[in-house]
A and B are shown apart, each in its own frame.
Chain A
Amino acid sequence: MLDMSPHPFENLPNRPGVGYKPQHFSDILKDARPVEWLEIHAENYMGDGGRPIAQLKHLAERFPISVHGVGLSIGGESPLDPDHLARLKHLVGWLNPASFSEHLAWSTHESAFLNDLLPLPYTLETVARVSQHIDQVQETLGRQMLLENPSSYLAFAESEMTETEFLREVSNRTGCGLLLDVNNVFISATNQQTDPCSYIDDFPLENVGEIHLGGHDEDHDDMGAPLLIDSHGREVVDPVWALLDYTLAKSGPRPTLIEWDTDVPDWPVLAAEARRAADHLEQISA
């Protein structure tokens, strides 16, 4: 018998997912394989109704949904925006997604939203501020959140610890899980001229609830050193797939997402990237 009642999906499966784009709606309903779950940007579903909400309700009946925030400004020096937190609580409340995640970054300053994930110095002072904000988010939403490692282009003179030490400390203090963006690890390691595998070795993989993969652009800094830019506008490159294998071998399979946000391709191209992620996940489980 066909059960048409909406049923919440409690967890993201350790299988491939993709960032949902409205232009793929009918392709996904026709045949989403190998994609088994979808991620949405929270801020795109904070309207009062209309097509975006209608589509999301439809998809949530069929797929586990991950809500990924891009505007909470968890690293901001000012308090979290109470209006935005209330909107997020409303969305997470009615949707009851399988997961909620946000970024280790800031984006709002004195009520101006800058629409970029801006970097933070890794100090004890920042640990305290970020942890306090995460406590507030988790208390408001009544659930654990995942915190994502950023892609970085520069360093702060005042940093006192590494990024992995910082994330481990915040996760210990707040009980939040982590979202490991393997493309961001590759970008940051290239830009900071460090070893991406050592980053994975130092990362608290036991706390990872989701993995992100995406494409990046290549540029150079003033000294001619490589400068990779997180653009989510193309295929995942081979060294990032290799870094995924390195990670999965240590962590075991995890929900793994393809992010493609600019120059979004037709569904078959995105599905092929997800197929590639499925192959890498199956290789580990085998």
Chain B
Amino acid sequence: MAAKTDQNGFVAALLNPDCPAPPTLRDPQGGPAGKRFDVYRNNVAVSLTEALQVAFPVVQKLVGAEFFKAMTGVFLRQHPPKSPVLMLYGSDMPSFLANFEPVSHLAYLPDIARLELALRQSYNAEDQNPINPNALQSLAADRLMVARFSFAPAVRLLQSEWPIHSIWRANTEADAPEITIASEDVLVVRPELDPVPVLLPDGGARFIAALQEKSSFGHALEKASAEVEDFDLTATLGLLLANGAITEIHDEEIR
């Protein structure tokens, strides 16, 4: 009776090229599997690298294709997917980049990875109908101040010390404006089926974050205005409504 191949040994050799293939794996003549086992090693590394190339095109562009490939070789061994649903693979990429010494000079890289993750989460998020933009205008001022909002599942808020929106544009658009060093906050929205990262005015992220935490409109406005004196409420509300980011108004007076 021949020895059994267990899947522990198979996986150890699969992920570590220095670890020999299990001795029970054979070629047609009964010799060791050798290069035949490497087909599986190669399939795993290549297919997961491709998944990460699709997931993080801007990170790849910023570090270069060759470097990215080598780096994903390290990443996928430390963080293999935890689920067969690869559309969300790579959630550990921002923290990996923050601790990966060879890219420590690119301090904005983890936030770019966060933005790319948010775009993918948004792309696959549940569909929900936005409110009619007029619904807000027709609300009396006192009612508006106590109202709370629900956001579309496709909305993602990112706050960064780095100009992530400008960097993202410079690497995805042909005629993107020049990058100036400044902190940038981004709201990922999905007006139709394609997610779009929108640059928020100063204080906008504070306002939206408060609303997402179920603060009332009035309370959220206070927080944003305390942070930014000339907080542009009209611009912030305008981009929330134009992009279908709000799905429900909870008006306590009516309920």
Interface residues of A (CB under 8 A from B): 43-44, 46-54, 70-73, 76-77, 81, 83-84, 87, 106-116, 118-119, 121, 153-158, 191-193, 221-223, 225, 227, 229
Question: Inside 8 A of B35's CB, which chain A residues have their CB?
Answer: 221-222, 227
Interface set, chain B 15-52, CB cutoff 8 A to A: 24-31, 33-37, 39-40, 43-44, 47-48, 51
**Across the interface, do B83 and A51 meet the contact criterion of CB distance under 8 Å?**
no
Minimum C-beta distance from A53 to chain B (A): 8
**Across the interface, do A48 and B25 meet the contact criterion of CB distance under 8 Å?**
no
For the complex, would chain B's binding face be called helix, strand, loop or mixed by DSSP majority? loop
Write the B1-26 contact mask toward A (1 if CB under 8 angstroms, else 0). Answer: 11111111011001000000000111
**Across the interface, do B154 and A157 meet the contact criterion of CB distance under 8 Å?**
no
**Across the interface, do A50 and B127 meet the contact criterion of CB distance under 8 Å?**
yes
**Across the interface, do B193 and A113 meet the contact criterion of CB distance under 8 Å?**
no
Please judge, given known A-B contacts A47-B124, A49-B126, A154-B36, whether A109 and B84 are in contact too, CB under 8 Å: no
**Across the interface, do B7 and A76 meet the contact criterion of CB distance under 8 Å?**
yes
- A selection of 28 A-B contacts at a CB cut-off of 8 Å is A43-B87, A47-B124, A49-B124, A49-B126, A49-B154, A50-B122, A50-B123, A50-B154, A50-B190, A51-B193, A70-B84, A72-B84, A81-B84, A87-B85, A109-B7, A112-B81, A113-B80, A121-B4, A154-B25, A154-B26, A157-B2, A157-B3, A221-B35, A221-B36, A223-B29, A225-B27, A225-B28, A227-B35
Residue B226 lies at the interface, judged by CB distance under 8 Å to chain A: no
Please judge, given known A-B contacts A54-B193, A156-B25, whether A115 and B86 are in contact too, CB under 8 Å: yes
Interface set, chain B 82-132, CB cutoff 8 A to A: 82-87, 122-127
Residue in B6, B85, B86, B122 whose beta carbon sits within 8 Å of that of A77 in the complex: B6
Question: Inside 8 A of B29's CB, which chain A residues have their CB?
Answer: 223
A154 to B35, CA, bound (A): 10
Question: Inside 8 A of A192's CB, which chain B residues have their CB?
Answer: 28
A118 to B13, CA, bound (A): 13
Question: Inside 8 A of B80's CB, which chain A residues have their CB?
Answer: 112-114
**Across the interface, do B39 and A223 meet the contact criterion of CB distance under 8 Å?**
no
Please judge, given known A-B contacts A71-B84, A115-B51, A222-B35, whether A109 and B24 are in contact too, CB under 8 Å: no
**Across the interface, do B83 and A83 meet the contact criterion of CB distance under 8 Å?**
yes
Further pairs besides A115-B47, A118-B14: 12, Cβ < 8 Å: A49-B126, A50-B122, A51-B193, A71-B84, A111-B82, A112-B80, A113-B86, A115-B48, A153-B40, A154-B36, A221-B27, A222-B35
Question: Inside 8 A of A191's CB, which chain B residues have their CB?
Answer: 28, 36
Residue in A54, A72, A113, A221 whose beta carbon sits within 8 Å of that of B82 in the complex: A113
Write the B155-180 contact mask toward A (1 if CB under 8 angstroms, else 0). Answer: 00000000000000000000000000
**Across the interface, do B5 and A158 meet the contact criterion of CB distance under 8 Å?**
yes
**Across the interface, do B40 and A107 meet the contact criterion of CB distance under 8 Å?**
no
Residue B153 lies at the interface, judged by CB distance under 8 Å to chain A: yes
Number of B residues near A (Cβ < 8 Å) is 50
A4 to B34, CA, bound (A): 57
What total count of A-B pairs have CB within 8 Å? 147
A119 to B11, CA, bound (A): 12
Residue B227 lies at the interface, judged by CB distance under 8 Å to chain A: no
Please judge, given known A-B contacts A51-B123, A51-B193, A121-B5, whether A154 and B51 are in contact too, CB under 8 Å: no
A110 to B81, CA, bound (A): 11
**Across the interface, do A156 and B26 meet the contact criterion of CB distance under 8 Å?**
yes
Closest to B128 in A: A49
A110 to B15, CA, bound (A): 14
Question: Inside 8 A of A84's CB, which chain B residues have their CB?
Answer: 83-85
Which 9 residue pairs of A and B lie closest in terms of their CB atoms, listed nearest first? A71-B84, A47-B124, A48-B126, A112-B80, A49-B127, A157-B2, A51-B193, A158-B2, A116-B43
A139 to B117, CA, bound (A): 36
**Across the interface, do A223 and B124 meet the contact criterion of CB distance under 8 Å?**
no
**Across the interface, do A49 and B125 meet the contact criterion of CB distance under 8 Å?**
yes
**Across the interface, do B27 and A50 meet the contact criterion of CB distance under 8 Å?**
no
Residue B194 lies at the interface, judged by CB distance under 8 Å to chain A: yes
Minimum C-beta distance from B5 to chain A (A): 6
Question: Inside 8 A of B193's CB, which chain A residues have their CB?
Answer: 50-51, 54
**Across the interface, do A113 and B47 meet the contact criterion of CB distance under 8 Å?**
no
**Across the interface, do B10 and A153 meet the contact criterion of CB distance under 8 Å?**
no
A153 to B87, CA, bound (A): 28
Question: Inside 8 A of A153's CB, which chain B residues have their CB?
Answer: 33, 36-37, 39-40
Closest to A193 in B: B28
A121 to B10, CA, bound (A): 12
Question: Inside 8 A of B3's CB, which chain A residues have their CB?
Answer: 157-158
Question: Inside 8 A of B25's CB, which chain A residues have their CB?
Answer: 154-157
A95 to B225, CA, bound (A): 48
A111 to B83, CA, bound (A): 7
Question: Inside 8 A of B14's CB, which chain A residues have their CB?
Answer: 114, 118
**Across the interface, do B47 and A50 meet the contact criterion of CB distance under 8 Å?**
no
